[in-house]
Amino acid sequence: MIEIRWHARGGQGAVTASKILASAVIEEGKYAQSNPDYGAERSGAPLRAYNRVSEKPITLHCMVLNPDIVVIVDPTLLKAVPFLEGTDENAILVINTDKTPNEIREKYKIEGRKIYTVDATKIAMEELKRSLMNIPMLGALIKVLNGLVDIKTVEEDIKKTFGKKVSENVLSANIRALYRAYEEVKGE
């Protein structure tokens, strides 16, 4: 079982991204949970969302305490929230930043852990013309999950989720953003 924690701000779509991830995993016949941490916060407030992904049924119904992967959707949260909380040396960090993994490691004095970075903000601005980094961050995470779920399944799920709600243009921009981040994410 892999446990994932998302850090984002309200309105950035992290909950949706976490739901799409769970959906895609389940589509492929595996097990997953997506569990937002609901509060009374409104747009802009830092929030967390969780995923569990497994080959076997998941019976846990509690918060993710010790995530294997932490996804940081908004780079400004690196200073604002204790994103390393509950992680051990083996944890993986997937961070939206224009910096390299090494620069992040030095700047935030991170020991151990594996760091991946992707400039999801840039991808979002170029493809979506809006700072909606959830889908690119999902693309990056899929890459980091290393074959656990097929990006094609994720693509299909995005189409299903957004299909009725957005225009053809917006949908294809999201799909492009997904694949770009999937390609552009860099590890150490």
Residues that bind other proteins (CB under 8 A): 19, 22-23, 25-27, 29, 31-36, 38, 40, 57-63, 65
Structure tokens of 88? Answer: 């051990």
- Taking the complex as a whole, how short is the minimal distance between the CB of residue 75 and other proteins, in angstroms? 27
- Taking the complex as a whole, how short is the minimal distance between the CB of residue 150 and other proteins, in angstroms? 15
Between CA 95 and CA 136 the distance in angstroms is 11
Residues whose CB is less than 8 angstroms from the CB of residue 79 and which lie 6 or more positions away in sequence, other chains included = none
Q: Which is nearer to other proteins, 65 or 107 (CB)?
A: 65
* 72 bridge partner residues: 7, 95
Pairing status of strand 186-187 against strand 69-72: unpaired
- Taking the complex as a whole, how short is the minimal distance between the CB of residue 148 and other proteins, in angstroms? 15
Q: Which is nearer to other proteins, 61 or 79 (CB)?
A: 61
Q: Which is nearer to other proteins, 63 or 166 (CB)?
A: 63
DSSP codes, 95-117: EE-SS-HHHHHHHTT--SSEEEE
Q: Which is nearer to other proteins, 56 or 109 (CB)?
A: 56
CB 18 within 8 A of CB 44: no
- Taking the complex as a whole, how short is the minimal distance between the CB of residue 27 and other proteins, in angstroms? 7
Q: Which is nearer to other proteins, 35 or 97 (CB)?
A: 35
Phi, psi values for residue 114, rounded to 5° = -110, 130
- Taking the complex as a whole, how short is the minimal distance between the CB of residue 157 and other proteins, in angstroms? 8
Q: Is 165 helix (H, G, I), strand (E, B) or coil?
A: coil
